[in-house]
Amino acid sequence: MKPYVILISGRGSNMQALLQARLPGQCVAVISNRPEAAGLAWAADRGVPTRIVDHRRFPAREAFDATLAEEIEGVGGELVLLAGFMRILTPGFVERFAGRLLNIHPSLLPAFPGLNTHEAALAAGVRLHGCTVHFVTSALDSGPIIIQAAVPVLAGDTPDSLAARVLQQEHIIYPQAARAVLDGRCRLESGRVVWDDDATSADLALRVPAQ
């Protein structure tokens, strides 16, 4: 089984979804940049090894990222899954794990990169919002897309109500994407997402749940 690592900064609801999905691999560590992250206790209670690399103890991003990379490689992590990891990674780190680094973002990229995506979607008046699993590149929230899920923006939606519906879809599509990469059915080649089965790619490319 291919070993993978999950990076978190908080409660780790996407981490929980990944671990509960029983992916075709072994989670060799959950690593957080915050010692107080609630997700660490959840993972430890289920027998998953945990690590802390506190970013506040490092003078620069490069030093933090170098230590984080050493931790990942030290436990044998081949695939790295960002699950609410609230750090902008340096180009050196991204290059070190190129093609092996996944993230989930709460918008239909390339729309609304960065923070406060639900507020931005409501302010823009879009009719569809959602989430995206993508390979990570040095450009913020702009890597090649693996899977997306769309939800309608409803009359009377608030950022919290919209976020809750999007989060439900995050918990579905992130395990799907991670499973495809761990199985070797999906990979990054020359900056593009490649699937071994075009039919599978079409089925998973966009999820539009019934409302």
Q: What is the pLDDT of residues 139-186, one digit of tens each?
A: 999 999 999 999 999 999 999 999 999 999 999 999 999 999 999 999
Coil vs helix vs strand at 145: strand
Residue 89: DSSP 8-state: P
Q: Residues 4-27: what's their mean pLDDT?
A: 98
Query: In whole angstroms, what is the distance from residue 192 CA to residue 207 CA?
Result: 20
Show the DSSP H helices in 22-106 as ranges: 38-45, 61-74, 91-96
The whole-model pTM stands at 0.95
Pairing state between β 128-135 and 101-105: antiparallel
User: What CATH code would you report for 1-97?
Assistant: 3.40.50.170
Domain range annotation of the chain: 1-97, 104-211
Query: In whole angstroms, what is the distance from residue 68 CA to residue 131 CA?
Result: 26
Q: What is the pLDDT of residues 48-63, one digit of tens each?
A: 999 999 999 999 999 9
Query: Do the domains spanning 1-97 and 104-211 agree at the CATH topology level?
Result: yes
Q: What is the pLDDT of residues 65-74, one digit of tens each?
A: 999 999 999 9
* Catalytic residue IDs: 105
Domain spanning 104-211: which superfamily?
Answer: Formyl transferase, N-terminal domain (3.40.50.170)
Which amino acid, residue 162? L
